[in-house]
Amino acid sequence: MAKKVAIIGAGPGGYPAAFLLGQKGAEVTLIEKDRLGGTCLNRGCIPTKVLLHAAAVLREIRSAERMGIRTRDIDLDFAQLTKHKDDVVSSLVGGVEKLCSGRKIRVIHGTASFETPRRIRIKETGERVEGEAVILAAGSVPATVPIEGAHTEGTLTSDEALVLNQVPPSIVVIGAGYIGLEFAQIFRAFGSNVTVLELLNQVLPNEDADVARVLSRALQQEGIRIFTGAEVRKISGDQGRKKVEYALKGKNQSVEAACVLMAVGRRCNTEGLGLDRVEVKTEKGRILVNERMETTAQGIYAIGDAVGGLMLAHVATAEGHVAADQILENDPHPMDYTAVPRCIYTHPEAASVGLSEAQAKERHGEVLVGRFPLEASGKARILGDSGFAKVIAEKKFRRIVGVHLVGPHVTDMISEAVVAMNLECTTEELAYTIHPHPTLSEVLMESAMAIQGYKIHDR
């Protein structure tokens, strides 16, 4: 076991790996050039969910009259909401700092780069850190696309959108992945006129077509204008007066707004690490690793967004565990991406695990699909929400290979599907698993029942 381990990056991949290594007796140095917690705590998962929760509260209050609850005029104090967001982030970052201290993890704030495979230099101080093993958890940064005007004033990244001091009266969102759609709904709930432009032919291009269709319809019903198949050609104008020119179905179009949000994903943050000095190979900016998170250089591991693939906090944490176990020689196991949950925190929420219907057909040929509408769920009716559940199984053994949910609290419910897939659960086993009533989780059971050829609450 390596006694000294250096970790570059203290996000949701780096700091959990540090904790696991520290608990097992390793001497760990955690190097972070920004705040502990990485993108997730500071500029991603947590602050965006604070804003989405505020948007959900506003939506609930505005629709309360359907239950006979009458409310007066509602006002959003954006400055107070921003303070609340920052307070939540600071409290969680402070929690990570205390955990580092309590577990005797040495933390260095600075910019790290390799001098040799076992020696790292801190740019700001010149300090050298030695490590018998090194974990690279350098994360990612917002991506941009080569559009004229993409870097002009008033064109924001997702990082910059989180530090606005006021709600823009109008905004154009370029990109309809989960980042773009979450921000679109946030700003719409806060009063902005929102237009979303997506190059491909569906929102959420990497998700099941049914999920994309239902979510697109729901957001458009809120007044968000969504155009798919839209190729953005040019962004012009200054802060407060932006113009976006795009092509749609062979015709030139344009839309004006106070600002533009570039939400086209994220890219690996590997520049400046000195990887060439230690023979760590990369491909299109991402660090190449094997199934045990080992790079091409012995003793150097890489995890999280820096290796590309699914850039999700929980994936980074899982990869960090694999790397730590490999270093500890603690029954090391390979990383398995078969059952990774993917969550979108819009209203309604969407959550998926495994293959889409199209992917399942491509991989398994004929597949079995069970659907259940949330409108047939008693709990969903109580909440006044809609959506659906969809279970996909390969035909021979009826083993579940994909689950897709749209509706309230599905980002919590998806964990049941993840466990089911990890245990190679069949539709029969899920259908005969007793679920409590009335709950939203019953929709998973009902979808599995549909594949088995019978239904309880659906026609």
- Of 314, 321, 409, 437, which one is the catalytic site residue? 437
437 labelled catalytic: yes
pLDDT tens digits, 57-76: 999 898 888 888 888 888 89
What integer pLDDT is reported at residue 240 of this predicted model?
86
Distances (CA, A) of 242 to 18, 151, 235, 348, 419: 45, 12, 7, 30, 47
What integer pLDDT is reported at residue 372 of this predicted model?
95
Distances (CA, A) of 54 to 57, 355, 446: 5, 32, 32
Residues in the chain: 459
What integer pLDDT is reported at residue 312 of this predicted model?
96
Residue 231 one-letter amino acid: E
Residues of the chain with pLDDT under 70: 1-2, 459
What integer pLDDT is reported at residue 348 of this predicted model?
95
What integer pLDDT is reported at residue 329 of this predicted model?
87
Q: 4-142+267-328 architecture in CATH?
A: 3-Layer(bba) Sandwich (3.50)
First to last CA, the chain: 59
d(CA 229, CA 219): 17
pLDDT tens digits, 364-421: 999 999 999 998 988 988 888 889 999 999 999 999 999 999 999 999 999 999 999 9
Residue pair 161/34 in contact (Cβ under 8 Å)? The answer is no
For residue 225, list its beta bridge partners.
195
What integer pLDDT is reported at residue 254 of this predicted model?
96
CB atoms within 10 A of CB 380: 23
pLDDT tens digits, 177-192: 999 999 999 999 999 9
Q: What is the CATH number of domain 342-452?
A: 3.30.390.30
Distances (CA, A) of 181 to 75, 85, 243: 23, 19, 20
Domains 4-142+267-328 and 155-264 share a fold: yes
As assigned by CATH, the class of the 155-264 domain is: alpha beta
What integer pLDDT is reported at residue 71 of this predicted model?
82
What are the sequence ranges of the domains in the chain?
Answer: 4-142+267-328, 155-264, 342-452
What integer pLDDT is reported at residue 342 of this predicted model?
97
What integer pLDDT is reported at residue 457 of this predicted model?
75
Spell out the residues 6+ positions from residue 343 whose beta carbon is closer than 8 angstroms to its own: 349, 350, 351, 411, 414
What integer pLDDT is reported at residue 332 of this predicted model?
74
